[in-house]
Amino acid sequence: MAAPVNIIVGSHVWVEDPAAAWIDGEVFRINGQEVHVHTTNGETVVANMAKVFPKDTEAPPGGVDDMTKLSYLHEPGVLHNLAARYELNEIYTYTGNILIAVNPFQRLPHLYDTHMMEQYNGAAFGELSPHVFAVADVAYRAMINEGKSNSILVSGESGAGKTETTKMLMRYLAYLGGRSGVEGRTVEQQVLESNPVLETFGNAKTVRNNNSSRFGKFVEIQFDKNGRISGAAVRTYLLERSRVCQISDPERNYHCFYLLCAAPPEDREKYKLGNPREFHYLNQSNCYELDGVNDAHEYLATRRAMDIVGISEEEQEGIFRVVAAILHIGNVEFAKGEEIDSSVIKDEKSRFHLNMTAELLRCDAKSLEDALIKRVMVTPEEVITRTLDPVAALASRDALAKTVYSRLFDWLVDKINNSIGQDPNSKSLIGVLDIYGFESFKFNSFEQFCINFTNEKLQQHFNQHVFKMEQEEYTKEEINWSYIEFVDNQDVLDLIEKTFKNNKRFIKPKLSRTSFTISHYAGEVTYQADQFLDKNKDYVVAEHQDLLTASKCSFVAGLFPPLPEETSKSSKFSSIGSRFKQQFIHSGIWIGEKGDRFGQGKQLELKENGKSGIRIKDFYKTLADVREICHSP
C-alpha cells in the first residue's frame, strides 16, 4: 500500500460532497476521528478520518496523462485528474497500460482521422498522448513480433462509449492490416459495414443510451503470416430477448420495428403496418422517435447495408416479414374459453392480427392459433391435448415472439460471418470484446445476474494476470513483495458456480422470499429471482417449433430446422445460463481456467505489459473505481 499520509491541521484534502462527489478544502480542526474542513465552495464540513483523502497540491492543473504518475491514487485523485483532462478535451488517459476513455458526447473527428492513424503507426506506447489507436497498435505489434494472438477488452457501463471505442479499434486495425488495391470489398470493409445491420436488430434506445447494444460482442480479426487481415468473425452473447415483448417508458424496442413502420408506403401496405402506436410491443412506451434520427431514412440505409453484406433481396423480404409478424402477433389477445382453463382469440381485431401473422410467416392460421392456446402431450398410451388459460396463452404468444426474434438475430450474425469469410489458416488474431459492464438497477433479474457474473470472471482474469505478472517482475528485480495483497473475488465466483451455503458474499434480505443479494466486487446487487427459472429456459416449445418448421417460406422454416428426436428431448434440459457460460469458454474469453482455448487452438492473452510504477493494492482499487465511476456518461 502507499505509505499512509498523516492528515493534520492545515492539510489539503478531499471530502465527499453530495453534489460534486468530492470537494477539496483545508483541515482546520481534528477531534479524534472527526476532521473539520473548510471547503473551496465556502462551506464547513465534518468528515470521518477514514473518508478524508490527501490532495496533491502540486499536481499539474491540466492533469497527468498516466494516472500512475499521480502522487495519490485514490478515488478523488483519479476523478479529479480525469475531469481536469476532460476540460481540455483530453478524453483518453492511461493507468499504466490500461486506457480510460471518457465519453465526449460530441464528434471529435480530428482525433480519429488518417493523420492521427499515421502518427500512432509504430509509435512506442506512451510516446504520444493516450489514445485508443495506441492500444490497438501495441496489440498488433506484439502479434507481429511475438506471433501471438491478442485480445482487447472494452468494458464500461451502458452509454460509456464501448461500441464507439470498438469501432475505432477496428478502423485502426483495418488501417494497419488492410490490403490496398485489392479488387472487390475487403474483409475489413465488410466487418465495418456489418455494424449498421447488427445495430438495427440488436440495438435500442434505453434511458442511458439512444443506441444501446443489447448484446455482447466479440469481433475476431484474423491475420496471415504477413500481418494482413485474412478473415474475421463476429460472435454475439446473450441478446436481451425480453425487450421484444416488454419495454418501459421512455425506452424503445429494437430499432428495426420502428424502421419498418416508417418504410415506404408500398412496403408498409405489404406488411399491413402503419403507425407504431398501434402495436402493443411498441406502445407500452411513449417513445417512438429518436432525436436526430429519421427512421424512414434508416430503413433505406439498412436495406443498402444488407445488400452490401450479401443479404439477398429474397432474404431481406423474409427478414422484414418476420419483423412485421412479431408486431402483429403482439396484438393478438385472448379471452376465457367455455371450458375451464381454456382461451379463445379475443375479438375480430385479434383475429385479424392472428391471420396477418400466419400470412407473414407463411404458416396455417389454425395451426398458429392452436400453437398459442393448446399444448399436446404424448404419452405411451395416448395423445392428450391440454388447453391454456388466457394468461398462459399470452405467455405462449410472447415466448413465440421472443424465440422467432432471437433466431432471426442469430441468423443475421451467421450470415454476416459467412459473407465476411473466415480464414481457417490464419496465423494469429486480435479479438475485441465489447461487453456490457457491471449492472445494478432498481430491479435486477436474470440478465443482470449473467452480465455481472461475466464481469466477475473478467475481473478475476484481470487480477490473476496483472498480479501474477507484477509479482514476477518484483521477483526478477529482487523486490520484497510480501506486502502485496489484493481483494480476490474468487469467493463470488465460488458462490455463483459452486454453492451459496455460508458464503459471506451471499445475503438473504429478511423481508423478501424471492430476492437475494450478492456482494459483488463492484458493490452489492439485489436480484429478484421470480422469473429466473423461466428466463433460463432455453428450449423452443415443441408446438412452436413444429409450426415454424412447416412454414412454406424457406427463410422462416430455415430459422427452425427440424431437431433430431434425441436432441429435441435433451434440449429441454439446456439453459440460457449454461449456454452463455459455454459461449465464453469456447471463445476463450475466460482465460485462467484450465483448458480454455481460443477458437483455433490458440491461447488468448489480454493486453497488459506490466509497466507499472505503483503498488498493487492501489492499482487494483483504482481499476475497480475507474471501471465503475469514470466510464459513467
Ligand X SMILES: Nc1ncnc2c1ncn2[C@@H]1O[C@H](COP(=O)(O)OP(=O)(O)OP(=O)(O)O)[C@@H](O)[C@H]1O
User: Is 601 marked active-site?
Assistant: no
Q: Nearest Cα to 308, choosing from 221, 220, 192, 421?
A: 192
- Per CB under 6 A, the list member of 68, 95, 213, 343 interacting with ligand X is 213
Query: Which are the contacts of 55, defined by CB distance < 8 A and separation ≥ 6?
Result: 12, 13, 14, 24, 72, 76, 77
- Per CB under 6 A, the list member of 93, 97, 149, 212 interacting with ligand X is 212
By the 8 A CB rule, do 459 and 590 touch?
no
Q: Cβ closer to ligand X: 91 or 401?
A: 91
Q: Cβ closer to ligand X: 101 or 176?
A: 101
411: its cell numbers: 441468423
Q: Does 455 bind ligand X (CB under 6 A)?
A: no
Q: Cβ closer to ligand X: 324 or 589?
A: 589
- We find the least distance from the C-beta atom of residue 172 to ligand X, in angstroms, to be 13
User: Is 515 marked active-site?
Assistant: no
Query: Which are the contacts of 468, defined by CB distance < 8 A and separation ≥ 6?
Result: none
Q: Does 108 bind ligand X (CB under 6 A)?
A: yes
User: Is 202 marked active-site?
Assistant: no
User: Is 439 marked active-site?
Assistant: yes
Q: Cβ closer to ligand X: 161 or 577?
A: 161
Q: Does 22 bind ligand X (CB under 6 A)?
A: no
Q: Does 205 bind ligand X (CB under 6 A)?
A: no
- We find the least distance from the C-beta atom of residue 112 to ligand X, in angstroms, to be 8
- Rounded CA-CA distance 357/350 in Å is 10
Q: Cβ closer to ligand X: 213 or 422?
A: 213
- Per CB under 6 A, the list member of 4, 8, 10, 107 interacting with ligand X is 107
User: Is 163 marked active-site?
Assistant: yes
Distance of CA 55 to the CA centre of its chain: 36
In one letter, which amino acid is 539? Answer: Y
By the 8 A CB rule, do 371 and 547 touch?
yes
156 among the known binding-site residues?
A: yes
Q: Does 159 bind ligand X (CB under 6 A)?
A: yes
Q: Cβ closer to ligand X: 163 or 406?
A: 163
Active-site option among 97, 149, 213, 343: 213
Instruction: Map residue 91 onto helix, strand or coil.
Output: coil
> What binding mask, one character per residue, do residues 161-180 give for ligand X by CB under 6 A, x or -?
xxxx----------------
- We find the least distance from the C-beta atom of residue 105 to ligand X, in angstroms, to be 6
- Per CB under 6 A, the list member of 211, 284, 367, 600 interacting with ligand X is 211
User: Is 212 marked active-site?
Assistant: yes
Q: Nearest Cα to 31, choosing from 46, 44, 17?
A: 46
Q: Nearest Cα to 337, choosing from 365, 376, 370, 368?
A: 370
Phi–psi pair at 576, nearest 5 degrees: -60, -45
160 among the known binding-site residues?
A: yes
User: Is 165 marked active-site?
Assistant: no
- CA angle, 497 then 498 then 504, to 5°: 100
Active-site option among 68, 103, 206, 209: 209
- We find the least distance from the C-beta atom of residue 102 to ligand X, in angstroms, to be 9
Active-site option among 158, 200, 203, 612: 158
In one letter, which amino acid is 355? Answer: N
**Positions in 409-438 near ligand X (CB under 6 A):** 436
Please choose, out of 26-34, 206-214, 474-482, 489-497, the segment that lies near ligand X by the rule CB under 6 A. 206-214
Active-site option among 68, 212, 452, 454: 212
Query: Which are the contacts of 352, defined by CB distance < 8 A and separation ≥ 6?
Result: none
Q: Does 104 bind ligand X (CB under 6 A)?
A: yes
98: its cell numbers: 490500461
Please choose, out of 210-218, 369-377, 551-559, 576-584, the segment that lies near ligand X by the rule CB under 6 A. 210-218
Q: Cβ closer to ligand X: 55 or 235?
A: 235
Query: Which are the contacts of 186, defined by CB distance < 8 A and separation ≥ 6?
Result: 174, 178, 179, 229
Please choose, out of 101-109, 255-263, 582-590, 614-622, the segment that lies near ligand X by the rule CB under 6 A. 101-109
161 among the known binding-site residues?
A: yes
- We find the least distance from the C-beta atom of residue 163 to ligand X, in angstroms, to be 3
**Positions in 523-562 near ligand X (CB under 6 A):** none
- We find the least distance from the C-beta atom of residue 522 to ligand X, in angstroms, to be 15
Phi–psi pair at 128, nearest 5 degrees: -100, 175
- We find the least distance from the C-beta atom of residue 160 to ligand X, in angstroms, to be 4
- We find the least distance from the C-beta atom of residue 262 to ligand X, in angstroms, to be 20
601 among the known binding-site residues?
A: no
68 among the known binding-site residues?
A: no
> What binding mask, one character per residue, do residues 110-149 give for ligand X by CB under 6 A, x or -?
----------------------------------------
In one letter, which amino acid is 436? Answer: Y
Cis amide linkage into residue 562, ω under 30° from 0: no
- CA angle, 581 then 582 then 587, to 5°: 105
Write 385-391 long-range contacts (CB < 8 A, 24+). Answer: 387/337, 387/339, 387/341, 387/342, 387/343, 388/341, 388/342, 388/343, 389/336, 389/341, 389/342, 389/343, 390/334, 390/335, 390/336, 390/343
Active-site option among 97, 151, 163, 203: 163
- CA angle, 499 then 500 then 505, to 5°: 130
Q: Does 216 bind ligand X (CB under 6 A)?
A: no
522 among the known binding-site residues?
A: no
Phi–psi pair at 553, nearest 5 degrees: -95, 125
Q: How many beta carbons lie within 10 A of that of residue 501, not counting itself? A: 7
Q: Which residues are annotated as a binding site?
A: 156-163
Residues with catalytic function: 158-159, 163, 209, 212-213, 437, 439
Positions that interact with ligand X (CB under 6 A) = 103-105, 107-108, 156, 158-164, 208-209, 211-213, 436
Q: Which residues are annotated as a binding site for ATP?
A: 156-163
